Amino acid sequence: MSEKVKEVVAEEFEQARILTRDAVRFGTYLYPLKGIAYFFTHRSLWKPLVQKLIPTISLGLGVTTFMFAVTYVPQAAVLAIFNGPLAFITTILLVLSESSTIFSVISKNFLLDDALIDTFDGTLLSRNLTSLVATERQIKSGSDPAGKLGKIIKKPFARFTPKAIIQYFIYLPLNFVPIVGTVLFIILQGKKFGPTAHMRYFQLKQMSKQERDEFIDKRKAAYASFGVPAVLLELIPIFGIFFSFTNTCGAALWAADMEQKNSTAPNLREQAELARKAE
């Protein structure tokens, strides 16, 4: 059994290594950082966060404190068998990950869902993608991106599903493998986080499930590249709430770049064709 586990971990690690190599090539790992810079330099995007700040911080403090008080010692005892002296570090990461997941499920489904959608849509409006946002919500007049956001026409996709939560707990035993297992755990979480961050984009594009799956499949490495640093940022206790908003902003910036690249591509081709004919 032990050999089989090692074989599975080795296979997953090799796949993760290849994925990481391809992910670096795409450079989408920069978007969580771009999201931080963009969010804090565009005050109009702060409104959704400010409105939810106090209840969300209280929830984050409560969940994190409870998890460390109740689960840290027993999990550290178990991980000490597998990780030895490193159990202190790996258990902290594990409890932070568990706290982050519980917090995300509760907050993003019951407290922050509308606020994060407003942040995503507001970022797109600030990038002059009004027509894209208007496919799924009313747009008011004005110059303030957040102030222009009207009523949402269609209920957004669910951010979390029972399947995603079950997968999370299936991956938890990876933390028993020193260092490598924890790294794999975070990478696997990042792979799932990337596409989830673009659920609103898929909805605005009015993609079918098949179109969505094909779109994601072509960009697996890019989504992992975005997801891993985004997950690490949201693992930070308390401050993870701020990074939920900056990650949403970063995901919207990536979507905006893809939209603007696609919209200019036909013009570029047309110009190249005219230049060829002129010759």
pTM of the complete model: 0.76
Query: Which of 5-9, 97-101, 121-125 is the most confident on average?
Result: 121-125
Tens-place pLDDT, residues 48-90: 999 888 888 888 889 889 999 999 999 888 888 877 887 888 8
Tens-place pLDDT, residues 119-175: 999 999 999 999 999 998 999 988 888 889 998 887 665 555 566 666 666 666 665
Q: Supply the pLDDT for residue 271.
A: 42
State the alpha helices, DSSP H only, in the chain.
2-26, 31-40, 47-83, 87-110, 113-126, 130-133, 162-171, 180-197, 199-204, 209-217, 220-234, 240-278
Residue-averaged pLDDT of the chain: 80
Confidence of residue 274 (pLDDT cuts 50, 70, 90): very low
Residues 6+ apart with CB under 8 A from 98: 67, 71, 172
| Rg of the chain (C-alpha set) | 21
pLDDT at 254 over 80: yes
> How many C-beta neighbours within 10 Å does residue 264 have?
10
Q: Supply the pLDDT for residue 9.
A: 60
Closest CA to 45 of 144, 137, 192: 144
